[in-house]
């Protein structure tokens, strides 16, 4: 039995989210974050990553990124919360969503999207309503998640 099911989200009112189908212990692998492995060059050259909406691009290593914006990547439905109960963990060229605390059956599974904090942060308001919510989706510690738009902004500022 899968540890998650897809349901209309409480956080993203227009979208869906993943919900725990049973109690999940901390440190459990919940779902793999899958997608197409592309080279940094492909990321740079692709217009797909130039838009301003949140994108599903992960930095795997010096050479490769993972483009999770594919219909078969169920993990892309996981919403951001400032009190996330799961996190992205990269091992080699794989990314797993692991619980970082106990998740109760029926709870929405959430991650920290880890967007960079800069002048663009206001384009991603957060609606998680958790006690920790700062109002926007910005990173606490997930430095390895990248957003090309933010990278570009940084480059221009230098």
The footprint of Zn ion (CB under 5 A) covers 82, 126, 128, 133
Residue pair 128/79 in contact by the 8 Å Cβ criterion: yes
- CB-wise, 103 or 126, nearer to Zn ion? 126
- CB-wise, 49 or 113, nearer to Zn ion? 113
Minimum distance from CB of 131 to Zn ion (Å)? 10
Minimum distance from CB of 125 to Zn ion (Å)? 9
Torsion sign across C-alpha atoms 97, 78, 75, 50: negative
Residue pair 47/118 in contact by the 8 Å Cβ criterion: no
Q: How far apart are CA 116 and CA 108, in angstroms?
A: 24
- CB-wise, 78 or 126, nearer to Zn ion? 126
Minimum distance from CB of 68 to Zn ion (Å)? 21
Minimum distance from CB of 107 to Zn ion (Å)? 15
| Distance, CA of 110 to chain centre | 9
Cα distances from 127 to residues 40, 72, 78, 114, in angstroms, run: 32, 26, 14, 15
- CB-wise, 59 or 120, nearer to Zn ion? 120
Minimum distance from CB of 121 to Zn ion (Å)? 12
- CB-wise, 12 or 28, nearer to Zn ion? 12
Instruction: Enumerate residues 6+ apart whose C-beta is below 8 A from 25.
Output: 99, 102
């Amino acid at each position: 039995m899968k540890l998650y099911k897809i349901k209309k989200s409480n956080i993203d009112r227009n979208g869906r989210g993943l919900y725990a189908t049973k109690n999940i212990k901390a440190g459990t692998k919940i779902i793999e974050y899958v997608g197409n492995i592309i080279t940094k060059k492909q990321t740079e050259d692709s217009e797909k990553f130039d838009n301003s909406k949140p994108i599903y691009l992960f930095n795997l290593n010096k050479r490769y990124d993972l483009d999770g914006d594919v219909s078969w990547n169920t993990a892309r439905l996981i919403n951001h919360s400032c009190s996330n109960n799961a996190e992205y963990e990269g091992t080699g060229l794989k990314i797993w969503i692991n619980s970082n605390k106990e998740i109760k059956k029926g709870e929405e599974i959430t991650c920290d999207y880890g967007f960079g904090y800069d002048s663009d942060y206001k384009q991603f308001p957060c609606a998680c309503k958790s006690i920790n919510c700062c109002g926007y989706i910005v990173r606490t510690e997930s430095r390895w998640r990248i957003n090309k738009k933010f990278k570009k902004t940084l480059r221009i500022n230098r």
